[in-house]
Each structure stands twice: as C-alpha cells, then as structure tokens.
Amino acid sequence: MQRIFFSSFVSLFLFLLPFSTFAALPNDPFFSNQWYLEKIHAPSAWDLTTGSDRVIVAVLDTGFDLDHPDLMENVWKNAGEVEADGIDNDHNGYIDDVYGYDFVDQDGNPLPNQQETFDASAVAHGTVIAGIIGAVGNNAEGIAGINWNVKLMSVRILNNEGSGNSAAAREGILYAVANGANVINLSFTGLEIDPAFKDALHKAYDAGIVVVAAVGNTHDGGINVDTTPIYPACHGEEVSEDWVIGVAASGPNDTKSIFSNYGALCTDISAPGENIFSTTYQDSTWTPFQKYYASGWSGTSVAVPMVAGAAALLKSTYPSITPAQMESILRLSADPVIATGDAVGKVGAGRLNIQNAFTIASSFVPAPILAAGEVASNSLIKRACSGQTNVDDPCRTVYFYSTDGKRHAFTNEKVFFTWFSNYDSVKEVSATFLSSLPLGKNVTYHPGTKMVKFQSVPTVYAVSKGGVLRPIVTEQVAFVLYGTNWNTQIDDISDAFFGNYRFGAKVTVPADYDVAKEKASVTGLNENFPL
C-alpha cells in the first residue's frame, strides 16, 4: 500500500456569489474568468454538444460539495439505493451509496468530514475538480463546466489534508467500474507501485473506461517522470496498452508550467493548469468554507479534469470510443506547447483542443451497421423504451437521421411541427443503434414558417435557410409579412439554444424578406443544415 496525495499548488482568492448576468453564451456570471475554456476551444465544441447525462465521470478525490448550486443538477445518483436507510438496497456491497462512496470513512456520505483536522485547500480540492468537469452551464449561476450536462460520481479516497493510500484508491476505481463510470479523474500522485492498485487500473481499461491522471508537480522546473516514475500516470506504460492518460500542465501562452513534471512516455497531453477559476467547497456551518467559487488554482491536478471533461464530452457524442482511441484522438488533435531544457518534446502531444478532437473523432467511429428492423438515413427516429414517461427522458427525444450520417435533435414540438404535421413517421430504434449515430447540430425552424425570439432579448427574428436569423426592425414590417395576427406567430427560444443559429442581415422593409420564397428555399431537412 502506498501513500498518495492530491497534485495542486494552490493560491486562493475567494468570491461571494453575485447574482448578475453575463452578456454572452453561456450566461454564467464568471464565464469570463474561465480563460482556459477558450484556450481549449470548448465553446466551439459546444456547438455540437454540451454533454449528456448518460455519461458518468467518477471524481476520485477529497469528495465534492453535493448541494453546490452549480453542481447539484449534475450529481450522479444511484437509482437503486434509498438514502440514509442503513440498507444496501441495490446489493452492490455498499450501504447508502446514493451519490457515491467514502473510502476514507467507509460510509455512503462522500463529503469532507467536518470532525477531522483539515487543510482548507484540500477540502476544496474535489469540488474544484468537479466544477471544471461538469458545473452546469448556461444556468445564470457561477461558471460553466466543460460539460453542461453530465453525471458526477463522488468517490472520496483522500482525507481532509489531501492524502490517502492506494488501497482506498483501488477500492474507489473498482467502485467506479462496477457502477457504470465512463471516465475516471485521478488528480493525485504516488511514488510506489502497488500491484493491487495497478490491477484495478487495468480492469478499468479493459472495461472501456477512460482514466486520466496527473503527472505531478515539482518546484523549479519539474522532473522527468520517465526516470522518476509518478503513479498512476505511469501505470501501463511498460506494457503494450497505455491504461492511463497522463496530463502535464501548461499556461495561458501555451508554455509548460514551471512546476509541471514531464516525460516522453508517461505524459500524453498537456492542459491548462495555472490560475484556474472553479467551484469550491461551501458549508454554511463550517466557518472556513463560506464561499462558492475560488480563483488561483494551479497544478497538474487541475489540468487533469480539463482532459477528463473533454473525454466525457466526446463520449456524449461518440459513446463507443475506446480508451486507446480516446488517447489517440486527444493526442492527434492537440496544439503545440513550448518547453525548454530537458522537457523539450516531453509534454505530451501538445495542449488539449476539444474542437479539433471532435473533428478527428468521426474518423475513429465506424459507420453504423444497420441491424434487422433498424432504419436508413433520411428518417425520423427515437429510442425504443418502455415504462419511461418523464419529460426529460431520452426516450422522448425525436431525431432526424440525416444523410450526413448524424442524428439531429428536435429541441421541442414547436420546431418539429414546422417540418412535419404529425409523429406518424417516427420510427423506434434500439439504444445501441441510436448511440452509434454521431450527434449533429439541433434542428432549427423551417424557413418562413414562424418568427422567433430569445427569452432574454426583445428582438424578433425571421428565419432563413440553414438556421439564419434575421432581425425584423419594426412591428409594421412583421405585420406586412405575417398579417394581422403576426404577434401570435412568434415562438420563444430558450437562450440555451442560441448556438444553434447564425445571424443574417436585418429585415428593414417587407421587400427584404419573401415569406413564400423562404418556405420554398428547402424541400427537406437535409437541405437546412449549415455547411
């Protein structure tokens, strides 16, 4: 059994949560503080997907704040367990593990323990990691995670001082494997090999789970982890399979962080790891933890959730990607990182670029093979389910299976009925087939059928081919185009779908927009997706 420690250098500046808005997409007030999101091209990836609640990321750390206002909607819940009844309802060997499990205190409450001695930065650490991966985006609250939609499993393996042992880490990994995790975040390091812990990592790899770990920090330039191995990042390197994606830290100018370790073998990729703004642990009954957000986090451990978050985002669209494929995709899509001295060429393939990763990922996913009873392209499809009728059920979502090989979601019934008169032609397909289709852009309104506006702004738009919105300058113009009841032909669009549309020239006079010609500009949905 070895000792392990979390892998951040911390300089904290704390902020109370202000209830202001940020005038951009997403609308989270502190989005402008998250310099790293633009650096890794997350906003461009959000045009394709903002994540999925079918993807589970296990955060093996000090535990995270389960009722944090920016995390609680994305907390994983074990549906087979009843909270605080003292019974192992789902017979998985763990009592009351509703939101994960605590392998430090051996109970179903995976939170920092207020009764223990503590280091404030260690207590906050797990919440920082969780926020980078999956803080709810575009909810007018705090920050945006790399995944706006995801499920975060809290697995506490480090104590309030940020230390733990490989036995707890091994149990945490096996718990994540057994309970459906797709990605495992390991923002800690150790110096010795524990065969049992190593075996657990191999099990996760064999189960198709992407495991991401820190290469660690060392003052005055970092060390070469190929000669002084850091675990778990270096596990698997001595075999033909690389079980763990090792992550180094880079700065705003794409240079290796001075503290970051490096290595030609154990380091696969770099990601931002300096002055990171994220969620932090908050407990009104625990004096040191009265804030919701913190800036100044630095270390390879905050670079790890950048990569784990990117893996989860890719998994939401390409669920069949294997760990080996994921590593290849991330490495091939990376941007250059500058290093000097012994670190030259040893900071992985470069700095994470999620937009490029999505472009490359499609070449790793084979074209879907239609099983008997499945459908060809140019069809309306939905997942076949039984006994699920909740509004947010994935079973309720209707997609257009386009000739581009992707499935395009209808965001609501209003959009659907601008294209089709009923649901008679919607075909049910298996979950396996549906998940084999890459997720494309959402379906936008049929040109010429309705006017639209976003909920947060008063501007009314006419719709043109390819999801182009054109501002209608006056009510008189709208009256001429759509008649006396023009104001009943305006649909509100959630600000969450702002990125589905592009913007065109203003409609200043009625002659600028011909409703009939706009309706005739497309004969089917395949013609309406922008190039």
What residues in the chain have per-residue pLDDT under 50? 9-24, 367-368, 387-392
Task: Quote the pLDDT of residue 367.
Answer: 46
Record the pTM.
0.70
Q: What is the pLDDT of residue 247?
A: 98
How high is the pLDDT of residue 468?
A: 93
From residue 147, alpha-carbon distances to 105, 133, 151, 207 in Å are 30, 6, 9, 23
Supply the Cα-derived Rg of the chain in whole angstroms.
24
DSSP 89-134: TT-SS-TT-SSEEETTTTBS--S--TTS---HHHHHHHHHHHHHHH
- Least Cα distance to 27 among 442, 491, 458, 498 occurs for 498
| Greatest Cα-to-Cα distance within the chain, rounded to the nearest angstrom | 77
Q: How high is the pLDDT of residue 19?
A: 27
- The secondary structure element, H or E, covering residue 361 is helix 354-361
- Helix and strand counts by DSSP (H, E) for the chain: 12, 22
Distance CA 281, CA 127 (A): 6
Rounded CA separation 337/429 (Å): 44
Q: Kindly report the CATH class assigned to 3-361.
A: alpha beta
**pLDDT value at position 388?**
44
Query: Residue 389, Cα to own-chain centre: how many angstroms?
Result: 26
**Which residues are part of the catalytic machinery?**
61, 125, 301
The answer to whether the CB of 271 falls within 8 A of the CB of 354 is no
Cα–Cα distance, 315 to 300 (Å, whole number)? 23
User: What confidence score (pLDDT) does residue 372 get?
Assistant: 52
List Cβ neighbours of 474 (8 Å cut-off, separation of 6 or more): none
Q: Where do the domains of the chain lie?
A: 3-361, 379-436, 451-527
